[in-house]
A = this chain, B = another copy of it.
Amino acid sequence: MSSACTACAVLTIDLDALAANWRLLNARMAEAGGECAGVVKGDGYGLGLAPVACTLHAAGCRTFFVAQIDEGVRLRAVLGGAVPVYVLCGLLPGTAEVFAEHELAPVLSTPEQIAEYRRLPQAMRARMPRPAVHFDTGMRRLGLTVAEAEAFLDDNDAVSDVDPAVVVTHLACADMPAHALNAEQNALFRRLRDRLPGARGSYANSSGLFLGADSFFDLGRPGVALYGVNPTPGRPNPMHTVVRLSAPILQVRKIDGPESVGYGASHVMGAGSRVATVGVGYADGYPRALSNRGHGALGAWRVPVVGRVSMDLTLFDVSAVPEHEARPGAMIDLIGPLIPIDEVAADAGTIGYEILTQLGSRYQRVYTGGPEGAAA
């Protein structure tokens, strides 16, 4: 609805901040001789695959990761050829032709996928970039077990057939630097990866890039930090803010006596208080879990969410804001300079990743900065 949006909420996406975030993370890797890829799955973490990928590419990003095959197809159409696109779900049955047609690289994650890859006609494999292989070192989600990885590495024919360009693992606890699993995954990955000297090691996700140089290997794989979410929970956020979500007040209601507001009459306001209604609700990805917990900002004032977040509407207590400021048409930030996305997530009992990827389709999306044509 972005082109025809009338009087609705505005989601502003700062593509220059996105580029700066990639450069910041890439510089960490470059000091150690590595580089950063860009993870753009989930529609560029909810911010739009095409503008996000164009911006990262213009900033210098030369390797991309997506989760699903269809995301890879869309990304290839955005990027054109030459830049490798890795598809994390791997070579699922019946999908090889799509990989070949769109020059996508599978991240092989089971012995069956490796066997299937090896069975493909050489001409078909030649149309894909060299694949990645996924070793599971502790996430127990996708990837070869250690035993399966060792069996693969012991099989010279298999290794030479597959000839992986990248070897991947995924950290389970990178946002908890003290967790014992970090050292375990690191040692395991180092041992397996050293047996594939022709492949680049891709180990660190956003938080992993802040675990120390031991975690760098060759190819960083940041996702959420690019989009401004704090990769170092509990410490200051080193990333630039990318997203701002603002919505106009539709109506301000003066409360005459003690009156409940919203569904379930879950909150009672006293006489003289004022409640502002904005046209954003959980159908827009503003979580219902923020009911009676979240905050917005109106100018310099923090204004609490009151009552239950409903499907299309949310109520804020603006009693502390002067009447001439809290008026219909005034904008309330739901995510913004005073309301970091990490705070919104914490209030909703989740993480910034979920807030980002659930950002709705009814917002007017405004892209600022970025390379020419990125937001077209």
Interface residues of A (CB under 8 A from B): 1, 4-8, 41-43, 46, 67-71, 73-74, 88-90, 92-95, 98, 109-110, 112, 136, 138-142, 145, 147, 172-173, 175-176, 179, 181, 248, 250-251, 253-256, 259-265, 269, 275, 277, 279, 282-283, 285, 287-289, 307, 310-313, 315, 328-329, 349-351, 353-354, 357-358, 361-362
Contacts and interface: CB of A to CB of B under 8 A. Distances in A.
B262 A140 contact: yes
A317 to B, nearest CB: 11
Contacts of A73: 4
A98 B6 contact: yes
Contacts of A139: 261-263
Interface of A is mostly: loop
Given A68-B279, A288-B354, 18 more contacts: A1-B74, A4-B70, A7-B92, A8-B69, A41-B283, A41-B311, A42-B311, A92-B250, A110-B251, A112-B328, A139-B262, A140-B253, A140-B261, A142-B251, A145-B254, A282-B353, A282-B357, A285-B358
Nearest to A91: B7
A1 B358 contact: no
A342 B58 CA distance: 45
27 contacts: A1-B70, A6-B69, A6-B94, A8-B68, A43-B283, A67-B279, A67-B283, A67-B311, A68-B312, A68-B362, A92-B250, A93-B328, A110-B328, A136-B253, A139-B261, A140-B255, A140-B261, A140-B307, A141-B310, A147-B256, A172-B265, A282-B353, A282-B358, A289-B350, A311-B353, A311-B357, A361-B361
